[in-house]
Every structure is written in structure tokens, then in C-alpha cells.
């Protein structure tokens, strides 16, 4: 974290020295704190930030953002228990927020959205430790030496009828995608009709953190120079995890992979960014298959987050044009060409709200279970 605040006797401390942390402190003037997001190697502007405040017990502070309006529709996410649980503070009329610290508040964390980090993944794995239908492997090591987790879930004896790939965090800041991924995995591991069907018929490969260094370091990830992970599916790949995926999936698939879904979060708010949607490709068959799957999802969804197939973004509409992919190739466009592939698509899951419905980790997990249910019906058709 960079700061232009001189050392003094004020016990107030604000920093980003935590997993997923991102902030630049500009200055402190009394009870007003001026901060901005760290863009690092991002091309252009993005909106992710995540920091903690210590030494503010009993104080009422106002936080001002000095590089644009970086609050979503529900304001900042707040944690008073070192990141274990989060609530939405709410959004006020200006691009900033006020917060009154409890008299015993040793540390409070604030983030653009609810984070999902390596500790969260391993908490999930701990809840399912010893399950015979779950295996943790390592896809590769990152440039900074971190392990990129590769999960195998479902039928793991090599005799599955079909295979599926789910990826998340091609853009490091898009944390809600991993809660949906958890929901899918929970459905497969559950003692339900859906879970038993998957464990008999399907092996699912999941990569929760394609940009693992970016997730843990607190990078934006989107529009990373020279190109981000989701524009790296071309020769040669510059990111180790993308190169490893391109090498592993075709061999592992053995022609049995039918579906590949890449889980994302959209822009900060407004327009297409406040409902769940899939993006279409310039491929008529893929669009037809995506429409069929979307109809199943709309019909079978039962969780708290709504979904309507009519909200999907066809190729050629809004930002989803050829110009958006200039200079790179996305995961879904690469996966579309794998032998046996029936559906390769990207899904966008909002950070804070789906219409009037508030996005929470539990709500997004429930949507993941909805995805798994619809995917079972799509695969069984």
C-alpha cells in the first residue's frame, strides 16, 4: 500500500496487507479518510478494493474514494470478524461511506464485494474432507509459487459417461463466481437424487482460481497488461495456469467433455450488470445449445436469485462484439473447439444485487445448486 500520510501519534491504521487486499491511502484529514483502488498493471480503470482499519474503536469516520465511484448498489461489504462473515453496509447518496466503529472494534474490514480467497476454498474442502467423490490436485504453480487448485468431483474411477469443466476467477476480483462454484460442488457431493446421478455418470473438473496470484494479492485482474487470463487462450499463453489448462483438459477429457462453463462477475452496476446472464458466441449451434440450457435453468430454478433466459446477451449486442475480443482469445471460445463439446459458455453473476434481490454468499451458493440441477437435465437429455 502506498501512503502520503506522515507518521504521527494517531492510532488509526488503514492497510491492504491481508489476502486479497487492495487500497492506496491518499490522506487523512481529521475523521475523513481519502483512499483509492490500486490499479497496478491494469489497463484503464477498474473498481476493486479491499482494506482493513485498525485503531478506530469508538470513532465515526467517513471514507472518500478519489478515483471514481467504486461502490456497487449495496455499498461496501463489511466484516467485523477478520473476514469470516460479511454484511452489506448500504449505499448512500455520494461515492463514499460513513462508518461508526464499535467501542471494542480492534479491526474492521471493508471490500467492494464479499471476498472469496484460498482460506474460503479450504474451509469448503474441510467441510467435505474424506468424501470419496472429491479429490484435490494441483494444476500448476504460479509465477509466485502458489498452488493452483484443481478439483475433481463426481465419478472419479475413470468410467464416467460424461465430463464437465467449471472455471472461475479468470479475473481475480470477481469473487461471487466462486460461491456459485461451491453451490455446484455441494450439489454433486450431496445425498440427493441430483448428487447420486452425478456421482454415477459425471466427472467434473473445477478450477476455482485461474488467476491465483491475482486473487491472493488483491489485483483487479481484469484488463491486466499485456492481457488478462481470459484473453490468454492463444499461442503462446503468458500465464502459467492458462498454459496448464490448455495442456491438461484435452488429454483428461478423452473426448467425453460435453460442457464447459466459465463463471464471472460483470461490471460494477447498471444495465446488464444487475441480473444473471450468459454471453453468446458467434456460433449458431453454440447459441442454440445455450438457449436450450438456459430454458432448463429458468424452468427448474428454485433458489432466491432470479434468472430469465431472455436476459442472455447474444453475440453482436452491447459489449459482446468481435471488438471486445481483439488481441486475445477467451476460455469459452477455446473450449468450444474441444472434441465432443456440446456447450461452452460464460455466465455473469452480479456482485451485489439481482434485480431487487440482494446477493449474499448463501444466495449465490443456492444459485450454484440451481445450475447443477439444470445441468443434470441438460446432460441427461
Q: Where residue 5 falls among pLDDT bands split at 50, 70, 90?
A: very low
Q: How far apart are CA 260 and CA 345, in angstroms?
A: 7
Per the domain annotation, does 292 fall within a domain? yes
For residues 22 and 170, state if they share a domain.
no
For residues 242 and 318, state if they share a domain.
yes
For residues 283 and 206, state if they share a domain.
yes
Per the domain annotation, does 372 fall within a domain? yes
Domain end among 111, 134, 152: 111
For residues 361 and 302, state if they share a domain.
yes
Instruction: Give the CATH number, domain containing residue 73.
Output: 2.60.40.3120
pLDDT value for 360: 98
Domain end among 62, 94, 111: 111
pLDDT (tens digit per residue) in 336-360: 999 999 999 999 999 999 999 999 9
State which residues form the domain around 47.
13-111
For residues 220 and 278, state if they share a domain.
yes
Q: Is 136 exposed, middle or buried (0-12, 13-18, 19+ CB in 10 A)?
A: middle
Which residue has 467433455 as its cell numbers?
A: 257
Q: 147 versus 9: which is more confidently predicted?
A: 147
Q: How many residues does the chain have?
A: 381
pLDDT value for 325: 87
Q: Using the predicted structure, report yes or no on whether residue 305 has a pLDDT greater than 50.
A: yes
Question: If you average pLDDT over residues 45-51, what whole number do you get?
Answer: 98
Instruction: Give the CATH number, domain containing residue 244.
Output: 3.40.630.10
Domain end among 84, 111, 138: 111
Per the domain annotation, does 5 fall within a domain? no
Per the domain annotation, does 181 fall within a domain? yes
pLDDT value for 1: 40
Share of the chain above pLDDT 90, in %: 93
Span of 7-11, 31-35, 130-134, 309-313 with lowest mean pLDDT: 7-11
pLDDT (tens digit per residue) in 153-194: 999 999 999 999 999 999 999 999 999 999 999 999 999 999
Distances in Å between the alpha carbon of 290 and those of 172, 249, 268?
25, 21, 25
pLDDT value for 9: 56
Rg of the Cα atoms in the chain = 21
How close are the terminal C-alpha atoms of the chain, in Å?
52
Q: Using the predicted structure, report yes or no on whether residue 53 has a pLDDT greater than 90.
A: yes
Question: If you average pLDDT over residues 299-320, what whole number do you get?
Answer: 95
pLDDT value for 4: 41
SS3 content of the chain, % helix, strand, coil (to 5): 30, 25, 45
For residues 357 and 329, state if they share a domain.
yes
For residues 88 and 237, state if they share a domain.
no
Q: Where residue 113 falls among pLDDT bands split at 50, 70, 90?
A: very high
For the chain, the average pLDDT equals 96
Distances in Å between the alpha carbon of 145 and those of 140, 211, 212, 313?
9, 12, 10, 37
For residues 282 and 203, state if they share a domain.
yes
pLDDT (tens digit per residue) in 262-285: 999 999 999 889 999 999 999 999
For residues 162 and 93, state if they share a domain.
no
For residues 196 and 313, state if they share a domain.
yes
Q: Which of 82, 59, 78 has the alpha carbon at shortest distance from 352?
A: 78
Per the domain annotation, does 191 fall within a domain? yes
Burial 231-244 (b: 16+ CB within 10 A, else e): bbbbeebebbbbbb
pLDDT (tens digit per residue) in 190-223: 999 999 999 999 999 999 999 999 999 999 999 9
pLDDT value for 206: 98
Per the domain annotation, does 58 fall within a domain? yes
Q: Using the predicted structure, report yes or no on whether residue 117 has a pLDDT greater than 80.
A: yes
Q: Using the predicted structure, report yes or no on whether residue 7 has a pLDDT greater than 60.
A: no
For residues 229 and 245, state if they share a domain.
yes
Q: How far apart are CA 300 and CA 180, in angstroms?
A: 16
Give pTM, 2 decimals: 0.96
Per the domain annotation, does 163 fall within a domain? yes
Question: If you average pLDDT over residues 222-230, what whole number do you get?
Answer: 96
Our count of domains for the chain comes to 2
Q: Where residue 324 falls among pLDDT bands split at 50, 70, 90?
A: confident
Per the domain annotation, does 3 fall within a domain? no
For residues 331 and 194, state if they share a domain.
yes
Span of 5-9, 323-327, 368-372 with lowest mean pLDDT: 5-9
Amino acid at each position: 500500500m502506498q501512503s502520503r500520510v506522515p507518521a504521527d501519534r494517531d492510532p488509526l491504521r488503514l492497510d491492504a496487507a491481508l489476502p486479497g487486499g487492495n487500497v492506496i491511502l491518499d490522506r487523512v484529514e481529521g475523521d475523513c479518510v481519502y483512499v483509492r483502488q490500486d490499479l497496478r498493471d491494469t489497463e484503464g480503470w477498474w473498481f476493486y478494493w479491499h482494506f482493513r482499519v485498525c485503531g478506530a474503536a469508538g470513532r465515526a469516520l467517513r471514507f472518500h474514494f478519489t478515483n471514481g465511484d467504486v461502490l456497487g448498489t449495496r455499498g461496501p461489504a463489511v466484516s467485523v470478524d477478520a473476514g469470516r462473515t460479511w454484511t452489506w453496509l448500504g449505499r448512500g447518496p455520494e461515492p463514499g461511506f460513513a462508518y461508526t466503529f464499535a467501542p471494542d472494534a480492534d479491526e474492521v474490514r471493508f471490500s467492494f464485494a464479499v471476498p472469496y480467497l484460498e482460506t474460503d476454498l479450504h474451509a469448503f474442502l474441510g467441510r467435505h474432507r474424506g468424501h470419496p467423490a472429491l479429490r484435490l490436485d494441483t494444476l500448476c504453480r504460479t509465477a509466485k509459487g502458489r498452488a493452483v487448485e484443481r478439483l475433481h468431483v463426481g465419478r472419479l474411477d475413470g468410467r464416467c459417461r460424461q465430463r464437465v469443466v467449471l472455471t472461475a476467477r479468470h479475473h481475480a476480483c470477481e469473487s461471487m463466481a466462486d460461491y456459485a462454484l461451491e453451490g455446484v460442488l455441494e450439489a454433486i457431493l450431496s445425498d440427493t437424487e441430483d448428487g447420486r446421478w452425478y456421482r454415477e455418470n459425471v466427472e467434473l473438473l473445477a478450477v476455482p482460481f485461474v488467476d491465483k496470484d491475482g486473487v491472493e494479492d488483491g489485483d483487479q485482474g481484469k484488463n491486466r497488461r499485456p492481457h488478462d487470463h481470459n484473453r490468454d487462450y492463444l499461442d503462446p499463453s503468458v500465464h502459467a495456469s492458462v498454459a496448464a489448462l490448455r495442456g491438461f483438459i484435452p488429454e483428461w477429457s478423452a473426448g467425453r467433455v460435453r460442457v464447459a462453463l466459465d463463471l464471472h462477475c460483470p461490471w460494477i452496476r447498471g444495465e446488464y450488470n444487475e441480473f444473471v446472464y450468459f454471453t453468446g458466441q458467434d456460433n449458431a449451434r453454440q447459441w442454440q445449445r445455450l438457449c436450450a440450457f438456459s430454458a432448463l435453468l429458468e424452468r427448474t430454478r428454485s433458489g432466491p436469485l432470479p434468472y430469465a433466459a431472455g436476459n442472455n446477451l447474444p453475440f453482436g449486442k452491447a459489449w459482446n462484439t468481435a471488438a471486445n475480443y481483439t488481441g486475445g482469445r477467451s476460455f469459452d471460445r477455446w473450449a468450444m473447439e474441444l472434441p465432443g463439446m456440446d456447450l461452452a459458455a460464460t455466465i455473469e453473476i452480479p456482485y451485489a444485487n439481482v434485480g431487487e434481490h440482494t446477493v449474499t454468499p448463501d444466495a449465490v451458493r443456492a444459485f450454484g445448486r440451481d445450475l447443477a440441477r439444470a445441468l443434470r437435465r441438460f446432460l441427461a437429455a
